[in-house]
């Protein structure tokens, strides 16, 4: 039986290097705030409780943490006095918890649950503490893991406190730590702030543990996995690393990406095998695509369900609440929002379908739009099965078009249309014969007194 697990996510830092009005841990990678990546890992690991340590006066971080972890999953560290002090701040929220704790970071979105799982496994097997190390291409700024002859960690030395020899070590501390609660808090009570930064370093528990007879083991991860975001450049790096991972996963799962590097996924994009995605497609959060669908170039899709064998784009925009059944065709410059489209619906060019229910096989002509908003409220449009909406029809909602009905091109439809009827709502055409010829003749005479 595995021991009970808890997670503490450190997120009390200021994030000043982001130069942003938005708190650092709320900046998104793959469409999800950094903090929620860590919260998700903690959840996948079945950690309970899961506690975020946040700074004072950060209402937005607090709201995000509460939404993800519940009110009991938020602890405030005030003032921030180092990573050891931050972990201590979560003590009360741990309540009566006994078992292993994983310390995660609110600004490190790429850590895999499997990696922390390996750390729990090492702890179960060998006891003591487990830190996550990595071999840094450039170790500047990181704490160094100083190993003993048996490959265990003797201590962690922060860059600012390291000797030249210690700085030459490339094996660095990611910060992620797994330890037993009782052991960890006992060691934390012994940490002092007698160091270069005058902070309480969590990393000191390693050396202190050794003196108390608890050894520290190291699990190694790829550097990309432990990347912490401190600046916009690192945010972009983390995004790139996430995208690379998502593209590889899609290909592995049987999705064709014609030019993988130009397709952008969100953290929760779900794509079934045998979907083809053409170049330059962006998936915002909340998208699922069923098998056999094709997403053509330059489409932007968010919050949408795309049915099997549907064809989207090129240049299509699907917005939240777009739900497309099987074999739906959405062509160029068509926008769909909060609408249900039945099987085989076609909107091939230049249309806006918002707040609508569209029956199977309906055909929406070029330039047709739902007029769903009156400046105050949104209204629904109901289009029956096998309806033909003529080009440039304006459907002024709320309005219902019965099954099998037609609307004539250019109509402004303000009243319901009966099934199988044709609704015509446009000015009658009249003709003035020879008018154009006379007009041209009048215009071709030299203008009197006008400017040249
Ligand atoms: C820390 C580690 C270092 C490691 C590096 C990895 C310590 C002493 N050092 O250094 O060994 O190589 O991370 O990136 O732990 N935080 C709080 N409250 C605080 C201070 C920090 O919540 O009082 C949070 C920050 O928001 C951040 C994380 O803890 O998410 C790390 O803090 P930071 O100051 O960036 O630590 P480093 O100096 O980078
Ligand atoms: Ca840092």
pLDDT single digits (tens) 336-345? 999 999 999 9
| Residue 108 Cα: closest atom of ligand 1 | 30
Among 226, 259, 285, the domain-final residue is 226
Q: Is residue 450, in this structure, part of any structural domain at all?
A: no
| Arithmetic mean of pLDDT, 183-190 | 98
Q: Is residue 433, in this structure, part of any structural domain at all?
A: no
Domain of 213: which CATH number? 3.90.550.10
Same domain, 32 and 138: yes
Q: Is residue 30, in this structure, part of any structural domain at all?
A: yes
For tokens 């047709």, what's the residue?
368
Q: Any bridge partners for residue 89, and if so which?
A: none
Same domain, 9 and 88: yes
Same domain, 213 and 306: no
Same domain, 214 and 270: no
* pLDDT-based confidence at residue 449 (cuts at 50, 70, 90): low
Among 205, 226, 247, the domain-final residue is 226
Asked if residue 269 has its Cβ within 6 Å of ligand 1, the reply is no
* pLDDT-based confidence at residue 326 (cuts at 50, 70, 90): very high
User: Is the pLDDT at 452 greater than 90, yes or no?
Assistant: no
Same domain, 126 and 69: yes
| Residue 228 Cα: closest atom of ligand 1 | 14
Active site residue 267: no
Q: Is residue 246, in this structure, part of any structural domain at all?
A: yes
| Arithmetic mean of pLDDT, 125-145 | 96
Same domain, 119 and 190: yes
Q: Which two tokens stand for residue 146?
A: 């100083």
pLDDT at 357: 98
| Arithmetic mean of pLDDT, 302-331 | 98
Mutating to test ligand 1, I would choose from 13, 75, 132 the residue with most ligand atoms within 8 A of its C-beta, which is 13
Q: In the chain, what percentage of residues exceed pLDDT 90?
A: 96
Measure the CA–CA gap between 136 and 223, rounded to whole angstroms: 6
Contact of 93 with 74, CB cutoff 8 Å? yes
SS3 assignment for 155-217: EEECHHHCCHHHHCCCEEEEEEEEEEHHHHHHHHCCCCCCCCCCCCCCCHHHHHHHHCCCCEE
Same domain, 162 and 85: yes
pLDDT at 448: 66
Q: Is residue 447, in this structure, part of any structural domain at all?
A: no
pLDDT at 281: 99
Domain count, the chain: 2
Q: Is residue 434, in this structure, part of any structural domain at all?
A: no
Residue nearest to ligand 1 atom 11, measured at CA: 143
Q: Is residue 402, in this structure, part of any structural domain at all?
A: yes
What pLDDT, in 10s, does the model give residues 159-171? 999 999 999 999 9
Same domain, 261 and 382: yes
User: Is the pLDDT at 89 greater than 90, yes or no?
Assistant: yes
Asked if residue 139 has its Cβ within 6 Å of ligand 1, the reply is no
| Arithmetic mean of pLDDT, 385-411 | 98
User: Is the pLDDT at 151 greater than 80, yes or no?
Assistant: yes
User: Is the pLDDT at 362 greater than 60, yes or no?
Assistant: yes
Same domain, 88 and 58: yes
Q: Is residue 443, in this structure, part of any structural domain at all?
A: no
pLDDT at 1: 64
Residues less than 5 Å from ion ligand 2, measured at CB? 228
pLDDT at 2: 80
Asked if residue 11 has its Cβ within 6 Å of ligand 1, the reply is yes
pLDDT at 451: 58
* pLDDT-based confidence at residue 15 (cuts at 50, 70, 90): confident
pLDDT at 450: 56
Range of the domain at 410: 232-423
Q: Which two tokens stand for residue 145?
A: 């893991």
pLDDT at 92: 97
Asked if residue 201 has its Cβ within 6 Å of ligand 1, the reply is yes
Same domain, 236 and 222: no
**343 three-class SS:** coil
| Arithmetic mean of pLDDT, 352-377 | 97
Domain of 264: which CATH number? 2.160.10.10
Among 359, 404, 362, 357, smallest CA distance to 380 is for 357
Q: What mean pLDDT value characterizes the chain?
A: 96
Among 211, 226, 241, the domain-final residue is 226
Same domain, 200 and 256: no
Same domain, 222 and 311: no
Asked if residue 85 has its Cβ within 6 Å of ligand 1, the reply is yes
What pLDDT, in 10s, does the model give residues 95-128? 999 999 999 999 999 999 999 999 999 999 999 9
pLDDT at 14: 80
| Arithmetic mean of pLDDT, 131-152 | 95
| Arithmetic mean of pLDDT, 420-433 | 97
Measure the CA–CA gap between 127 and 403, rounded to whole angstroms: 70
pLDDT at 276: 98
| Arithmetic mean of pLDDT, 370-398 | 97
């Amino acid at each position: 039986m595995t021991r009970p697990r808890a997670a503490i996510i450190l997120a009390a830092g200021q994030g000043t290097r982001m130069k942003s009005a938005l708190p650092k841990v709320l900046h998104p990678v793959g469409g999800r705030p950094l903090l929620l990546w860590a919260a998700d890992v903690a959840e996948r690991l079945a950690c309970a409780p899961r506690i975020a340590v946040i700074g004072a006066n950060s209402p937005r971080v607090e709201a995000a943490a509460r939404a993800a972890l519940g009110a009991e999953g938020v602890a405030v560290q005030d003032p921030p006095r180092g990573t050891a002090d931050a972990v201590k701040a979560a003590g009360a929220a741990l309540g009566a918890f006994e078992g292993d704790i994983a310390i995660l970071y609110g600004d490190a979105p790429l850590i895999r649950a499997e990696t922390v799982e390996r750390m729990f496994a090492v702890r179960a097997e060998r006891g003591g503490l487990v830190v996550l190390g990595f071999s840094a291409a450039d170790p500047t700024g990181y704490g160094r893991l100083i190993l003993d002859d048996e490959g265990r960690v003797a201590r962690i030395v922060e860059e600012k406190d390291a000797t030249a020899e210690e700085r030459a070590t490339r094996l660095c501390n990611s910060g992620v730590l797994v330890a037993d609660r009782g052991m960890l808090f006992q060691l934390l009570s012994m940490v002092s702030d007698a160091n270069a930064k005058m902070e309480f370093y969590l990393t000191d528990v390693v050396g202190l543990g050794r003196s108390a007879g608890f050894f520290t083991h190291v699990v190694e991860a790829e550097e990309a996995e432990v990347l912490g975001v401190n600046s916009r450049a690192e945010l972009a790096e983390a995004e790139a690393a996430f995208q690379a991972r998502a593209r590889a996963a899609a290909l592995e799962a049987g999705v064709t990406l014609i030019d993988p590097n130009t397709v952008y996924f969100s953290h929760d994009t779900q794509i079934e095998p045998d979907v083809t995605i053409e170049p330059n497609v962006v998936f915002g959060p909340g998208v699922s695509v069923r098998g056999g669908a094709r997403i053509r170039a330059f489409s932007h899709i968010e919050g949408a369900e795309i049915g099997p064998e549907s064809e989207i784009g090129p240049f299509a925009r699907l917005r939240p609440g777009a739900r497309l059944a099987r074999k739906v065709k959405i062509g160029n410059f068509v926008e769909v929002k909060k609408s249900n489209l039945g099987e085989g619906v076609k909107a091939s060019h230049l249309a806006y379908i918002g707040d609508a229910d569209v029956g199977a096989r309906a055909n929406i002509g070029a330039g047709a739009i739902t007029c769903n908003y009156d400046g105050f409220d949104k209204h629904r449009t109901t289009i029956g099965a096998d309806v033909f909406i003529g080009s440039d029809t304006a459907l002024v909602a709320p309005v219902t078009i019965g099954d099998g009905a037609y609307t004539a091109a250019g109509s402004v439809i303000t009243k319901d249309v009966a099934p199988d009827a044709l609704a015509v709502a446009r000015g009658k055409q009249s003709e003035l014969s020879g008018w154009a010829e006379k007009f041209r003749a009048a215009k071709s005479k030299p203008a009197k007194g006008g400017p040249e």
